[in-house]
Amino acid sequence: MELSHVNENGACMVDVSGKQNTDRTAVAHGLVTTNSATIALLLNGKTPKGDVLNTAKVAGIMAAKKTSELIPMCHNLPLNDVDIEFKIKENTIEIVSTAKCFGKTGVEMEALTACSVAALTIYDMLKAVDKTMTIGEIYLMSKDGGKSGHFERG
């Protein structure tokens, strides 16, 4: 198997200059598990650090824009859109992030980074009321565009 990020000189960035620009979209999922009392505080706006979900959304969007600075060899992409949605259940906060661009390489890492940082921000903003929270189930749900086309998690 040929490695895409290693050449005879060591680590390298993949050269995408010959690739065609296409519309690209990626959707990622994350989950923060907490207790029902913490969810109640969140829903009632009684958390000690303020607006948890809007802060997490802004943090996730900002992180997506900085992905190439965080993940070695990621290309700096001209993002057209990053969106983050939250679904709150009895003891979980589900995070779904979507990243879009018109470019030569995919936006999976941007969607995953947005989701991860949103989850970390939720944890940070709620840790004063629940130190037992867990962050998990961060994965790619779907992606479109590019040579490999469409992927949908089964």
Q: Which residue numbers are catalytic?
A: 124
Phi-psi group of 67: left, alpha or beta (phi > 0 → left; psi -120 to 50 → alpha; rest → beta): alpha
Cα–Cα distance measured from residue 119 to residue 47, given in angstroms and rounded to the nearest whole number: 16
Number of Cβ within a 10 Å radius of residue 153: 10
Q: Are 67 and 110 in contact (CB under 8 A)?
A: yes
Q: What is the DSSP string of 61-72?
A: HHHHHTHHHHST
* Ranges of H-type helices in the chain: 36-43, 52-65, 67-70, 108-126
